[in-house]
Amino acid sequence: MSILTQIIAAEEDELAAIGESLNPLDLWSGIGWRDLTIARIAMLECVLTGELFDDAAARCEPVYVSPDEGALVLRLSDELLERLAMLDEERIELLAAELTATEAFETAGWSEDEVASMLADLGELAQLAESQGQVLFAWIHPLRT
């Protein structure tokens, strides 16, 4: 079983609607990947903010669980959103190299190019969210494939 993760830019009060959605990308701005796990999101936060992994992981606890669909929703930290919004090409390359060297990404076989592409997309989404006064959510759904 793998998972589908969608990072969504939305208003704070749209949490439950995102959690109950079958495909949030139909209704909100965002981007999606397979197998972007909570541990990988925590590692992303850890590398971008300089936090210890355990502290970053604690901030990645689900804030909503869909009883019907089994989807989890995390609210990404404001600090992570700010750091993502400030990414430039040079920083993306450095972070991609650092992230792909971590166990969380290395064991999953993510390449530097894939991670760099993810970071660039997240940076653009974070800029959009900031400009509209929104926050970032991670919608995580189990795929039965």
List the one residue out of 123, 125, 129 whose CA is nearest residue 30: 125
Task: Retrieve residue 6's tokens.
Answer: 């969608």
Angstrom distances, CA of residue 114 to CA of 20, 94, 110, 119? 29, 13, 6, 9
Stronger pLDDT, 66 or 138, i.e. the higher one: 138
Q: Residue 144 pLDDT more than 60?
A: no
Number of domains in the chain: 1
Q: For position 125, which CATH number holds?
A: 3.40.1760
* Residue 85 and residue 9 in contact, taking contact as beta carbons nearer than 8 Å: no
pLDDT in tens, 48-106: 999 999 999 988 899 999 887 789 999 999 999 999 999 999 999 999 999 999 999 99
Identify the domain containing residue 139 by its residue range.
2-143
Task: Retrieve residue 8's tokens.
Answer: 């969504």
Instruction: Tell me the C-alpha distance between 48 and 83, whole Å.
Output: 7
In sequence order, which residues have a C-beta less than 8 Å from that of residue 66 and are 6 or more positions away? 19, 20, 72, 73
pLDDT in tens, 3-32: 999 999 999 999 999 999 999 999 999 999
Order of all β-strands in the sheet with 2-10:
29-34, 2-10, 135-143, 72-75, 64-65
